[in-house]
Amino acid sequence: MTSKKRPQNLFAKAPIVRLQGQPVLLFTEQQGTLLQALEAKNVKIFSECRNGFCGACKTRVISGKVSYLNEPLAELKHDECLPCCCVPTEDLELDLSPEGTAVVTYACQSHQNKASLAKPKQTQNVASDTRTQKQAVFEDS
């Protein structure tokens, strides 16, 4: 679930971070660490040292990978990460509650785009005679 090097591809797709299936943010390097990005979205996560020493922010990774900015000293299982000292390297799903976080939904239609700020909710794909509507989620700026 983890790698030790920070990604070097400047043109890579920004990872989408999901909490228990709900997309809550599009991670960019400007956000610093995963912990800082989650806190900016009002995600409730406990932390202490913010450097990977104590392990207080240890979080279960459901899917995806992270890389560490500095080697954590806390012991981790294969499906855990320390958000205080890592960044996602691909789309990432964490076992944290999305309660209280807002997401931006972006509906794509053939000639029309709509964006709105919404609380997490279930989305569905809707097909019509000549067009297909898809729903994706991105971080609000």
Tell me the C-alpha distance between 59 and 96, whole Å: 8
Strands 66-68 and 2-3: parallel
Phi first, then psi: what are they for 39, rounded to 5°?
A: -65, -35
3-state percent helix, strand, coil for the chain, nearest multiple of 5: 10, 35, 55
Region of 11 on the Ramachandran plot (φ > 0 left; ψ -120 to 50 alpha; else beta): alpha
Residues of the chain with pLDDT under 50: 5, 7, 110-117, 119-141
pLDDT computed for residue 133 by the predictor: 38
- What pTM was estimated for this model as a whole? 0.68
Q: How far is CA 84 from CA 79, 121, 124, 127, in A?
A: 16, 27, 33, 41
pLDDT computed for residue 69 by the predictor: 95
Q: Which residues neighbour 134 within 8 Å (Cβ) at sequence distance 6 or greater?
A: 107, 108, 125
